Amino acid sequence: MNVSMRKYMKVGIILHMAFDGLAKGEGPILENLEKIVKDDYFEVVEVTQIKDPMVRKAAADMIKCGHMEVAYGGQPRLLTTGMNINDLDEEKRKAAVQSLKEGIDEAYELNAVGFSYLAGKYEEDRKEEAFQALIKSSKELCEYAKSKGDMPVVLEIFDYDIDKKSLIGPTYMAKRLAEIMTAEYDNFGLMVDSSHIPMLHETLEESLFPIKDYIKHAHMGNTVIKDSKYPAYGDTHPRFGFPNSENDVEELADYLRMLIKIGYLSENKRSIVSFEVKPFGNEDSEIVIANAKRTLNLAWELV
């Protein structure tokens, strides 16, 4: 497309994926955040928990100074601890929700434009019970976020049978959840990710059209799922064009084209689309980030 991508989207990147070792809220957060804030390719940075209040304050100040937006990913609060918000053990479910509420507090401290989370694992023969537990937890999160401001709460759609094995899950389940939630909460939405769509065994149309009215956030990434013996198999978010992977320039262009078609991206609404890419093995973070930027530049030419 000849029009600048900046007229259609705000390009972001997930800090704790691009720079390994930050997902638990510790490590060289500010040093790596500075690299992103100084790169004017990005208008948005996505962070997760930052345990030290002083570091959190410094991060907020740096992001504000850089004239950027920030979004908060609550997923690592669950994935690094094994917590599950649709746990059928009520005390464990409550503990998971409490952790995410603490994440919502952090998100508001950072002036985040959105908070995201994911559904947990489930047993097939108790799937409906798990779904009802998820609804209960999601309502509690939306209620809590609403009590503090107008920040959206979005559930990210993951795979259901490959890696994360999340309840949400297939698109039809995401749509069912969104219909129930939005009937009561206007701050609920869904997040889609180009790396997760192949893992759902769905086409772009099958994944995006049914939920087009509920999508509030989008990620760009890659995955390897052809054979479990291949390096980086599963939900590992390798760089674009990784050997035996699903997504490169043409696939990213198709994804962006579909996001425009369903109305998520338009000149009237510059929505966020963030890279979720992670170095594999000894790969360098900044080279992987450069790979992502080049891929998007080339993909936009095809849109």
Model pLDDT for residues 99-125, shown as the tens digit of each residue: 999 999 999 999 999 999 999 999 999
Mean pLDDT of all residues in 78-104: 98
Task: Give the pLDDT score at 143.
Answer: 98
Measuring CA to CA, how many Å separate 110 from each of 72, 77, 115, 264?
8, 16, 11, 25
234-286 pLDDT per residue, tens: 999 999 999 999 999 999 999 999 999 999 999 998 999 999 999 999 999 99
Task: Give the rounded percent of residues in the chain with a pLDDT score beyond 90.
Answer: 98
Phi/psi for 260 (5° steps) reads: -70, -45
User: How are beta strands 115-117 and 153-156 bridged, if at all?
Assistant: parallel
Task: Give the pLDDT score at 52.
Answer: 98
Task: Give the pLDDT score at 1.
Answer: 87
Is the separation of the CB atoms in 209 and 184 below 8 Å? no
| pLDDT confidence band for 301 (50 / 70 / 90) | very high
* Rg, C-alpha atoms of the chain: 18
- Check pLDDT > 90 for residue 137: yes
Tokens of 206: 């099958």
Q: Which residue has the tokens 């410094």?
A: 58
The domains of the chain are located at 5-302
Taking residue 172's Cβ as centre, other Cβ atoms within 10 Å add up to 12
**CA dist., res. 88 & res. 109, Å (int):** 31
| pLDDT confidence band for 49 (50 / 70 / 90) | very high
Task: Give the pLDDT score at 262.
Answer: 98
Strand partners, 269: 266
200-214 pLDDT per residue, tens: 999 999 999 999 999
Instruction: Name the average pLDDT for the chain.
Output: 98
Task: Give the pLDDT score at 116.
Answer: 98
Helix (H, G, I), strand (E, B) or coil at 87: coil
The highest-level CATH class for domain 5-302 is: alpha beta
Mean pLDDT of all residues in 146-173: 97
182-199 pLDDT per residue, tens: 999 999 999 999 999 999
